[in-house]
Amino acid sequence: MKLKHQPDETESLMTWDDTFSFRCHPAIDCFNSCCRDVTIFLAPLDVIRLRRALGITSTEFLEKYAHRVVSQHSGLPAIILRMSQDEAMKCPFVTDQGCGVYESRPYSCRLYPLDTDNGIEFKFMVDTDRCHGLRETEEWTVERWRREQGLIDYDDLDHNLKDVMAADQVWEEKIADPRMQDMILMALYDVDRFREFVFNTSFFEKFKVDADIVEKIREDDVAMLYFASQWLRFALFGKKGFLKIDREYLENKKREVLGAKRS
């Protein structure tokens, strides 16, 4: 039987069947205090959901609500939610009644007050002094928390993106080329711009993609994100997956380049 965890056990990691106590509600005296001055990394699925909830394009969302950051170690770009620029440093979506985008809230907000690096081991990211919900008595297993907060929806996509997301740990060479960083950012976070790139360039001349996949990604953002993960796996690691390169296109390109060099 697993012991119940307390937030001051900062070093102890929990797994899915460990338990903790927590309840957040509007009557609690710290209500909304955690929705300000906080660094929230957005997952690719978060951008899709938030931009849909707000009725704007992913490009508009990134311009208005996000900052781009780049890992110093790998050069991999990521997106964080932009807090207000005034002293309050509030999340743009917090209201007096709580989260204004609750159904579409980001992964990190769903997981709070827990945090995880690998999706298997969890720890508290706050203590009982800051988060009074941790003094309440409602008991959760980590797994029930994950399920009820909708975190399991992220598992499949994370699995698909794991090569790219794990690049921080596995790449020896830093991505220094801003064009490469922009390409990764577009594929992972800017689904509308990536769709433009796929449908309005010579993409389908270079790659043979089955017609049912083409139809699916035309409208379905999540399918497009899976497609983008395959494309990144190919572009970054040479793993083709269901992308088939059009040999004739490649041969023609080669002839064009060689011809241009000779003349």
31 binds ligand SF4, rule: CB under 6 A: yes
Residue 7 sits in the site that holds ligand SF4 (CB under 6 A): no
- The rounded distance, in Å, linking the Cα atoms of 196 and 255 is 28
Q: Does 99 bind ligand SF4 (CB under 6 A)?
A: yes
Helix and strand counts by DSSP (H, E) for the chain: 13, 10
Query: Which of positions 125-154 make contact with ligand SF4 (CB under 6 A)?
Result: 131-133
Report the C-alpha dihedral over residues 80, 53, 118, 75, rounded to 10 degrees.
Answer: -30
Please report how close the Cβ of residue 91 comes to ligand SF4 at its closest, in angstroms.
3
Shortest approach of ligand SF4 to residue 83 CB, angstroms?
Answer: 9
Give the CA angle between residues 238, 107, 113 to the nearest 5°.
Answer: 135
Complex with ligand SF4: residue 24 or 232, whichever CB lies closer: 24
Q: Which one among 33, 57, 116, 141 touches ligand SF4, defined by CB under 6 A?
A: 33
Q: Which contacts qualify for 58-62: CB closer than 8 Å, 24 or more apart?
A: 58/189, 58/190, 58/191, 58/192, 58/193, 59/190, 59/192, 59/193, 62/189, 62/190
Binding part of the chain for ligand SF4, among 61-69, 102-110, 170-178, 187-195 by CB under 6 A, reads 102-110
The angle formed by the CA atoms of residues 148, 149 and 153, to the nearest 5 degrees, is 95
The Cα–Cα gap between 204 and 230 comes to: 15
- Please state the length of the chain: 263
Of 30, 56, 222, 223, the one binding ligand SF4 (CB under 6 A) is 30
* Cβ–Cβ under 8 Å, residues 56 and 174: no
Of the candidate residues 42, 62, 94, 217, the single one contacting ligand SF4 (CB under 6 A):
94
Please count the other Cβ atoms lying within 10 Å of the Cβ belonging to residue 238.
7
Q: Cα–Cα distance between 106 and 136 in angstroms, integer? A: 24
Nearer to ligand SF4, 96 or 173 (CB): 96
Of 34, 79, 125, 217, the one binding ligand SF4 (CB under 6 A) is 34
Binding to ligand SF4 by residue 105, rule CB under 6 A?
Answer: yes
Residue given tokens 């088939």 in the structure block? 244
44 or 106: whose CB is closer to ligand SF4? 106
- Which residue in 5, 7, 14, 35 binds ligand SF4 (CB under 6 A)? 35
91 is an interface residue for ligand SF4 by CB under 6 A: yes
> Where do contacts with ligand SF4 occur on this chain (CB under 6 A)?
24, 28, 30-35, 91, 93-94, 99, 101, 105-106, 109, 112-113, 131-133
